[in-house]
Amino acid sequence: MAHPGIRRAQLAAAQWYFWPNMDLGIKAYVQSCESCMRYKSSTGRKTGKLQPIPLPATCWDVVSTDFITHLPVSDGFDAIMVVDDKLSKRPVYIPTHTTATAEDTAKLFFNNVIRYYGIPSTIISDRDPKFTSKFWTALVNLMKVKTAMTTAHRAQADGQTERQNRTLEDSLRCCISYHGND
């Protein structure tokens, strides 16, 4: 079963349960979780000067988007579009295909983000062809949305969304069978 890190697991358990030495027990469990040791990514700190994105005034005013690709096919989908609100850090995971066009991506964005949260003022994305196409550019210009592109080949430029991607990938990895047929 997928679970959060030590501190979040302790906080979640403390809301409902108590037992003597609970924090030590949870820490020991999480540190010895075979699935986590095998599949989860390292969270070591990286050094360097950060260039933070200014904090938005309201939720869903500034969003970032990215794709997780090369996933095992499930219900016909082999990719996930991740849209992340920069203020609340709430992600929206949208199943899609690696072959989706810019038009398909725009429809997914409209039906799963704009429809529920409104038009953002800024969309941050990498330089995926879906986000640099004439169609996508015309669409965001029509909606009067600013776009911000991260530096090419530098996933850490949009660390919050990349972290959401890693969390989802780690959870999915822990939940699928060895043969990947579930």
SS3 66: strand
Output the pLDDT for position 115. 94
Average pLDDT over residues 146-166: 64
Q: Give the pLDDT confidence of 72-94 residue by residue, as tens digits.
A: 888 889 998 999 998 998 999 99
- The fold of the 62-175 domain, in CATH, is Nucleotidyltransferase; domain 5 (3.30.420)
Average pLDDT (164-179) is: 70
Q: Are strands 122-125 and 62-68 parallel, antiparallel or unpaired?
A: parallel
Residue 135 has pLDDT above 80, yes or no: no
Separation between Cα atoms, residue 101 and residue 134, nearest integer Å: 12
pLDDT tens, 33-71?
877 777 776 665 555 565 666 788 899 999 988 888 888
Report the distance separating Cα 81 and Cα 63, nearest Å. 13
**Which residues are bridge partners to 66 per DSSP?**
82
Query: Reduced to 3 DSSP states, what percent helix, strand and coil does the chain have, rounded to the nearest 5?
Result: 40, 15, 40
Hey, what amino acid is at 172? L
**Mean of pLDDT values over 113-131:** 86
pLDDT value for 60: 94
8 Å CB contact between 24 and 10: no
The residues spanned by each domain of the chain are: 6-39, 62-175
Reported as a single tens digit per residue, the pLDDT across 2-33 is: 778 888 888 988 999 999 999 998 888 888 88
Q: Provide the pLDDT for residue 96.
A: 93
